[in-house]
Amino acid sequence: MTKITFVKHDGEEMVVDAENGTSVMNAAVDNLVPGIDADCGGECACATCHVYVDEAWFPRVGNTNDAEEAIMSLNPDRQETSRLSCQIPVTDEMEGLKVRLPEFQF
């Protein structure tokens, strides 16, 4: 299990235990984190699991892939550290990962 912190847009923090081998999106959905709808179920095809990765963590969560870039680029509220959480795998190295939940998804 790996601990991940989700920070709501109003600042409230939710710390969840995520199962390795799943994705950060799965961790949110399994723990009823609000604002992560994941309509497509993790296929990188709906962009409803958008998160802003904490700046310090951003270089450590891997690169944005092409499909992810294509769909995120349509969002005018996309930021420098935006990722789709279904594309971030949960591993031991992610222990302590912090992501913020965009207001536009609430």
Partner 1 sequence: MTDAAANNAIEMASQDSRNMYGKDPYSIPLEKYDIAQSALFHTNTMWGFFDRLRKEDPVHYCEDSIEHSPYWSVTKYKDIMEVESNPEIYSSALGISIRENRDSFNTTSFIAMDEPQHGDQRRTVQGVVAPTNLAILEPLIRGRVAEILDSLPVGETFNWVDRVSIELTTQMLATLFDFPFEDRSKLTYWSDVATCSPEIDKFVESEDERERILIEECLPAFTELWNERVNAEPTSDLISMLAHGKETRHMQPMEFLGNLILLIVGGNDTTRNSLTGGVLALNENPDQYQKLRENLDLIPKMIPEIIRWQTPLTHMARTALCDTTLGGKQIKKDDRLVMWYVSGNRDEEMIDNPYEFIIDRDKPRQHLSFGFGIHRCMGNRLAEMQLRIAWEEISKRFSKVEVVGEPVRNRSTFVKGYSDLPVRVHPL
Give contact residues for partner 1 (rule: CB under 8 A): 37, 39-41, 43-47, 67, 70-71, 73-77, 103-106
Nearer to partner 1 by Cβ, of 18 and 47: the residue is 47
Q: Which helix (H) or strand (E) holds 71?
A: helix 66-72
Nearer to partner 1 by Cβ, of 15 and 70: the residue is 70
Q: What would the two tokens of residue 37 be? A: 């709808």
Q: How far is CA 67 from the centre of its chain?
A: 16
Distance CA 26, CA 1 (A): 13
Contact 68, 87 (CB under 8 A): yes
Nearer to partner 1 by Cβ, of 15 and 67: the residue is 67
Pick from 99, 35, 42, 45: nearest CA to 70: 45
- Please state the closest distance from residue 96 (CB atom) to partner 1, in A: 29
Nearer to partner 1 by Cβ, of 12 and 104: the residue is 104
